[in-house]
Each structure stands twice: as structure tokens, then as C-alpha cells.
Amino acid sequence: MGLGWYITRRVGWAVIVTFIIVTVTWALITAAPNPAVRQAATQAALDGGNPSAAAERVRELRGLNAPLHQRYIDYMVNVYTLDWGWSTMRSQPVTEAMLSALYYTVQYSVPWTLFTILLAPAVGLYSAANQYSWKDHLATGFAFFGYAIPNFFFGIMLLLLFGVYLEWIPITYNSDVPVFSLENARQLIVPVFVLVTGSIGGTMRVARNESAEFISADFVKTANAKGVSKLRVYARHILRPTMVPLSTTIVGQLLALFIGASLLVEIVFGIPGLGRLTFRAIIAQDTNLVLGSTLFFTFIATIGNLIQDLVYTVLDPRISFEDR
């Protein structure tokens, strides 16, 4: 009944949370005026026709004249059967539009996530091991710089420096180059660097503070007295318990940047990813595509929080799920 029951309940809550968020998003977009209806009425008036009849015809074609409860039920059934409708903006199924955009998002989000998970705890541990020295101040300054500067502004400055003045990287994103190629690495290195500096700051500070507490702990002094190597002391006896509270910060930072800052980065660098697709869908009021993107981001958030809780048991076996 311990871990298995806990996972079952968390997955159930994830489904409920997803259901509520998609419902609220659907209600807000449904309450907004549909641009296709307004455009049809305007065009009919300009052509000397009947605006009301034209608007009613569009509502009928799009199923907007059906009762709200029926429209809501139909959509929720389609959501859980992965029939997410047709994107009017892209003229293709929503799932295909999202998969084609996700292909480009993954190319920078995977290396960004890996670099953040590897570098943030290491930099924090290095800073804690050299407390109040110039090394500590340098690492702390780098963390605060990345945490404070806006991602979109930092991205624009780097693009002007390395793309316009130095001409080291391409100014516009080329989606035709192979994924595993030097050309693709050149055009993605700056977006990845911008996102890493934005996510490493808060995570590094938590890692530093937590590591500083364990450095002076009795079990670390015992390991040093036994002649355990410094690398083993830092990696096993200090970094491992530090990762337990740090995993919460890492997941929160990555989810916030993936949903928010990555959108701005995609717009600045012209990457046709999922964030840019969602932004354009909101502007065009493409209801199906907006709701599909909302469902995807909700799924990522709930799965990320579930993985975060499961990582606790790997990093600290003393945590019990019997009463949770």
C-alpha cells in the first residue's frame, strides 16, 4: 500500500488537475468572440449580403450553435481519445501541428535540461566548498546575473553580438539543417546558453546553501577522518542528500522556464517550436490548438511533479510513503 498506492493517487490527481485546467481554458476561449464569425459577418456586409445569416452559417459549420454542455462533452471526449480537432491556423490536425513544433522544441530543451541538472548542483557544491573566497563570489555573481537578467533581453544582446557584429552564429534559424550537425549546434548554442543561465541561478543558490550545511556535518567529518577521498565525500556524502530538497527547485525552475521563458526565446531566435506555436494560436484564437497546447503543458507539469516525488525515494530511501 506504500509507494504503489501513492503513485496511483498522484496519477489520479494529475488527471483531475488536467481536467480542471482544460475545462477553465475551454470556458474562457468559448466566452471570447470567435474571429471567424465576425469576419464572415463583415465580409457579407461588404458584399451586400446578410451579415446575420453569414454569421449563423459559420456557427453551424463550426458547431458553435450546439448547446454548451454538448460542445463541452464532445470536446472532453475528444481530448481523452487524442482527437484534438483541426487547427484552422495551420490547416492540419492539432496533434500533427504540435508534434511538428515539438520536434524543434526538443532540440534545445533536452540539452538545456541536461546542462542545468548537471551544472547547477556542481557549481553550488563548488561554491560551498570554497565559502567566502573569490571562487565563491564568482560563482554567486554568475548565478545572480543569470537569475536577474530577462531571458529575452539577454538573448537579443547575444544575438546582436555573436550574430550581427561577430557573425559567429546565424541570425535566422534554419529548420532545414540536420539535427545532429555542426550547423544546428551553432544556431542552438546561444538559446541553450540563455536558458541555462536563467535556470541555473536559483538552483545553484539552493545547492550552495544545502551543501554548506552538510559540509560541517558529523558524518562528513567521520568520512574525512577515515581517509575517504574528497571526490567521494563531495559526490556521495554531500551532493546526494543535497539533491533531495534541490529536486523540488530544479523541477520548478525548469517547468517555469519551459512554459514561459522558452516562448520568448523561440520568438527572439525564430525557432518554430511549441511555445511560438502556442503564442500564434492565441493571437489567431485557434481554440483547438490553444486547448491542445494547454493540455500538453499541463501534462508536462503534472508528470514533472510526479517524477520529482518519486526521485525522493531514490535519493533518500528513509522517506516513507505509507502515510502520504
| Cα–Cα distance, 201 to 264 (Å, whole number) | 19
Neighbours of 153 (CB within 10 A): 12
The pLDDT assigned to 9 comes to 79
| Cα–Cα distance, 123 to 141 (Å, whole number) | 12
CA atoms 235, 236, 237, 238: torsion sign = positive
| Cα–Cα distance, 193 to 155 (Å, whole number) | 9
Query: Would you list the domain boundaries of the chain?
Result: 3-93, 97-315
Q: Which residues of the chain have pLDDT under 70?
A: 1-3, 34-36, 61-63, 252-262, 309-324
The pLDDT assigned to 207 comes to 81
The Cα-based distances of 32 to 63, 75, 174 in angstroms read 15, 17, 36
CATH superfamily of 97-315: MetI-like (1.10.3720.10)
| Cα–Cα distance, 239 to 232 (Å, whole number) | 10
The pLDDT assigned to 119 comes to 85
The pLDDT assigned to 303 comes to 75
